[in-house]
Amino acid sequence: MEMNAAKLSPEQQRKRLELVIEGTRLGMWDWNPQTNEVAFNDIWAQMLGHELSDITPALEEWESRVHPDDIAGCYADIQAHMEGKTDFYENVHRMKHRDGHWVYILDRGKIVEWDENQNPVRFTGTHTDVSKQKIAEEAALKSAKAKSQFLANMSHEIRTPLTGILGVVELLKKTKLDERQLEFTEIVCECSEGLLSTLNDILDLSKLETGKMTFSPHIFEVPKVMLHSCQLFKDQALRKGLEFIVDISNTQGSVVADSNRLRQVMGNIISNAIKFTEKGFVKLSTNYIKNKGNVVSLEVRISDSGCGIANLSRVWNSFEQDDDSVASHYGGTGLGLTISKELMELMAGSITVNSQPGKGSEFVITLPVEISLKAPNEPESKATASKAISNLNILIAEDNTINQLIISEFLEEINAQFSIVENGEEAVKACERDEYDLIFMDLHMPKLSGINATKSIRTLPNIIQPSIYALTADAMSDVNQECIAVGMQGVLHKPFDNEKLLEVINRVCSKK
């Protein structure tokens, strides 16, 4: 039987400790903060390519080898422990190896002895070489960054032509078309929106993986959001001969939550319900479930009489669908439900499913919301808004001629005054010559980018500063933060949404 540690002699305990240290390959240090003398062990020296005999027992031996960029952080963590702010000292920093490369060290320690004035006189700890882990971590971060950059570039390259396709199709639909021509334009529009939806799924998954998904809670009327979401899919259901049932009688009033993310989740599920239902119905119903105080859970049930799901365990997995034949028959990336589930969890909600093959499915979305006694801000009347818009002077800074056409057609339709320039330099010169209330600024332009043009405009003397909103096809990078940092009021992503363009214009009108 092993001897109890308490009965070991001091010499036996020392030898046992040495064996533990040798087995775990820990570098040991024992520092007197009063004298700055430090005792190191062999492994501490060997981690840095030295023999212990090469090392002077002084704090400078450690300090001189720490990377200059890391030393301040080390001392900050040491000081925090000395002041009692942390129970232990812990820091990861780089130390120079004898051959010149940098070794990543996990440094841990604790004060174990004080003098009569409660000043530390003994601070002991360990060094662990974590270079392999740090190198692997940096490689993973580099790979993630490369992936994000690739997706950002892909987003820009795909969204730019899609903006032109969708914008011109919308303009075409407003011209005199016969029934067959209108049918063709609807097909082009539907295919383009399908491609955009696939792109958005891939980008959203990447944002979730990198923790860059953002949420913006606000006041909204539940009935309006539900009806609007259903309206988007009503024609699609009718074309398949399906009955679309909506029951929102139990959820009147306004709440606080992110309605845009809720719409996204509902849109994924409603779209799937219609896709996988050949006959019968799709139904959406809502209810409030009481929690605590003003917080309730908004419950949204979306059911259908479709083909059902045979393997429920697969529906939440990325790039997977219930059956391999589903993808070939119905299409899709298999990402919508994965994204929906993660979005709900990030909003402290949930999404569940019950289904039987051949008998349909029911998805239940549960989202905590706060009941609001305030109503959402009501938009101005069209007559008032139209008059205010006609008094605005708007500048479009955009080098793509198709995008110029799309925006200018919309602005002409709402009787807005506007000018167009093709690059950032011209945008700055235009602001020097004339006074603008609002600038729609493309970010990627020749001669001077939208970011740098905004910086220049914000430093122009003796002008009334305009509101500036970015126009970009980049939906992956931290473009929103960068735009706000240089003085822009917001970002609009391509393809253009006329409702969002009008929302921005009305916002500027309200401030005049």
We report the CATH number of the domain holding residue 174 as 1.10.287.130
Per-residue DSSP letters for 327-378?
A: HHHH---S-HHHHHHHHHHHTT-EEEEEEETTTEEEEEEEEEEEEESSPPPP
Whether 354 and 498 share a structural domain: no
Q: How confident is the model at residue 436 (pLDDT cuts 50, 70, 90)?
A: very high
* CATH code for the domain in which residue 30 is found: 3.30.450.20
* CATH code for the domain in which residue 431 is found: 3.40.50.2300
Whether 391 and 495 share a structural domain: yes
Percent of the chain with pLDDT over 70: 88
- Whether the Cβ atoms of residue 314 and residue 320 lie closer than 8 Å to each other: yes
Average pLDDT over residues 371-395: 71
Whether 241 and 174 share a structural domain: no
Q: How confident is the model at residue 385 (pLDDT cuts 50, 70, 90)?
A: low
Q: d(Cα 285, Cα 279) in Å, to the nearest integer?
A: 19
Give the predicted TM-score (pTM) of the model.
0.57
pLDDT tens digit string along 225-247?
999 889 888 888 998 999 999 99
> Which residues span the domain enclosing 366?
218-372
Whether 488 and 428 share a structural domain: yes
Q: How many CB atoms lie within 10 A of CB 81?
A: 20
Q: d(Cα 428, Cα 415) in Å, to the nearest integer?
A: 25
Q: Is the predicted pLDDT of residue 17 greater than 60, yes or no?
A: no
Average pLDDT over residues 34-63: 94
Q: d(Cα 283, Cα 130) in Å, to the nearest integer?
A: 55
Residue 386 has a pLDDT of 62
Q: How confident is the model at residue 331 (pLDDT cuts 50, 70, 90)?
A: very low
Total domain count, the chain: 4
Phi, psi of 398 (to 5 degrees): -155, 125
156 vs 450 pLDDT, higher one: 450
Domain termination site, one of 129, 155, 175 = 129
Q: Is the predicted pLDDT of residue 147 greater than 80, yes or no?
A: no
Q: How many CA atoms lie within 13 A of 262 on its CB side?
A: 34
21 vs 125 pLDDT, higher one: 125
Whether 202 and 222 share a structural domain: no
pLDDT tens digit string along 171-186?
888 888 888 888 888 8
Domain termination site, one of 372, 402, 424 = 372
Q: d(Cα 363, Cα 365) in Å, to the nearest integer?
A: 7
Residue 19 has a pLDDT of 56
pLDDT tens digit string along 353-362?
999 999 999 9
**For all residues of the chain together, what is the average pLDDT?**
86
Which residues in 143-228 belong to E strands, given as ranges? 218-221
For residue 69, give both structure tokens.
Answer: 């960029």
Whether 364 and 226 share a structural domain: yes
Q: d(Cα 437, Cα 465) in Å, to the nearest integer?
A: 8
Phi, psi of 53 (to 5 degrees): -65, -20
Residue 351 has a pLDDT of 95
Residue 190 lies in a domain: yes
Residue 440 has a pLDDT of 96
Whether 343 and 400 share a structural domain: no
Q: Is the predicted pLDDT of residue 64 greater than 80, yes or no?
A: yes
Residue 136 lies in a domain: no
Pick the closest to residue 102 from 76, 75, 77, 130 (CA basis).
130
Residue 3 has a pLDDT of 46
Residue 377 lies in a domain: no
Average pLDDT over residues 425-441: 95
Domain termination site, one of 167, 186, 210 = 210
Average pLDDT over residues 481-495: 90
Average pLDDT over residues 45-66: 94
Whether 119 and 249 share a structural domain: no
Residue 1 has a pLDDT of 38
Residue 476 has a pLDDT of 60
For residue 495, is the peptide bond before it cis, meaning its omega torsion is within 30 degrees of 0?
Answer: yes
Highest mean pLDDT among 97-101, 158-162, 502-506: 97-101
Residue 202 has a pLDDT of 75
Whether 339 and 401 share a structural domain: no
pLDDT tens digit string along 448-486?
999 999 999 999 998 999 999 999 887 665 788 899 999
Whether 334 and 261 share a structural domain: yes
DSSP assigned state of 36: T
pLDDT tens digit string along 312-327?
877 887 655 555 544 4
Q: d(Cα 507, Cα 512) in Å, to the nearest integer?
A: 9
| Lookup result for tokens 């942390």 | 86
Three-state SS for 55-95 is: CCCEHHHHHCCECCCCHHHHHHHHHHHHCCCCCCEEEEEEE
Q: How confident is the model at residue 4 (pLDDT cuts 50, 70, 90)?
A: low
C-alpha R_g of the chain: 32
Whether 13 and 125 share a structural domain: yes
Whether 294 and 341 share a structural domain: yes
For residue 12, give both structure tokens.
Answer: 């036996």
Q: Is the predicted pLDDT of residue 346 greater than 60, yes or no?
A: yes
Which residues have CB under 8 Å from 219's CB, separation 6+?
254, 255, 256, 372, 374, 375, 376
Strands 281-290 and 243-247, sheet pairing: parallel
Q: Where are the alpha helices (DSSP H) in 211-298?
A: 222-239, 259-275
Q: d(Cα 436, Cα 430) in Å, to the nearest integer?
A: 9
For residue 249, give both structure tokens.
Answer: 């009688």
Residue 142 has a pLDDT of 84
Residue 187 has a pLDDT of 81
Pick the closest to residue 397 from 377, 421, 418 (CA basis).
421
Average pLDDT over residues 30-38: 94
24 vs 295 pLDDT, higher one: 295
Q: How confident is the model at residue 53 (pLDDT cuts 50, 70, 90)?
A: very high
